[in-house]
């Protein structure tokens, strides 16, 4: 037990809970485009990874293929996503963002950055600095996860 007045030692469980709570707030920061989380996640994945097959998205998006197919069809009908033949396999299609889709992703990113700036302005300067310095560590964790997913075939 931690003595009164002494902050508890950080743990992975505490970090996990903090990230989960932060994600709940962060994912809702951008609000100009009312879209499903699945559709937004697909668009974000395509903006980061570039063109990919629907089967690749099934692994990254962690939703059933039928739900993903529905989300992709809606994005395509809204002009935010396009299909083209996969040069490696003519039977398959590659999905990519259209210019309009890239604009939505960019606008949402800008809105989130603006809202984060507002929230961080309420932190004490030392906390704000510490938090901003964590970005490099989080980027490193993302690279480790991507490498591990590639090695194991997860997230495809």
Q: What gap in Å lies between CA 59 and CA 65, rounded to an integer?
A: 9
Q: Would the pTM of this model clear 0.85, i.e. be above it?
A: no
Counting beta carbons within 10 angstroms of the beta carbon of residue 31, is it exposed (0 to 12), middle (13 to 18) or buried (19 or more)? exposed
Q: How confident is the model at residue 73 (pLDDT cuts 50, 70, 90)?
A: very high
CATH 2.30.30.280 fits 34-114, yes or no: no
The CB-side HSE value for 75 (13 A sphere, CA atoms) comes to 33
Q: Where are the domains of the chain?
A: 34-114, 123-156
Helices 37-49 and 99-120 sit at what angle, rounded to 10 degrees?
100
Has residue 156 got a pLDDT over 70?
no
Q: What was the pLDDT predicted at 89?
A: 87
Q: How confident is the model at residue 124 (pLDDT cuts 50, 70, 90)?
A: very high
């Amino acid at each position: 037990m931690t003595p009164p007045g002494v902050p508890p030692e950080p743990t992975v469980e505490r970090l996990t809970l903090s990230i989960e709570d932060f994600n709940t707030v962060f994912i809702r920061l951008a609000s100009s485009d009312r879209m499903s989380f699945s559709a937004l996640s697909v668009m974000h994945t395509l903006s980061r990874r570039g063109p990919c097959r629907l089967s690749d998205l099934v692994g990254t998006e962690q939703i059933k293929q039928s739900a993903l197919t529905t989300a992709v069809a809606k994005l395509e009908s809204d002009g935010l996503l396009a299909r083209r033949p996969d040069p490696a396999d003519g039977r398959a299609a590659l999905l990519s963002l259209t210019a309009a889709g890239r604009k939505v992703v960019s606008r949402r990113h800008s809105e989130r950055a603006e809202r984060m700036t507002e929230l961080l302005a309420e932190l004490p300067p030392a906390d704000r600095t510490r938090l901003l310095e964590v970005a490099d560590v989080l980027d490193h964790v993302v690279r480790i996860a991507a490498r591990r997913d590639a090695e194991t075939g997860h997230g495809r």
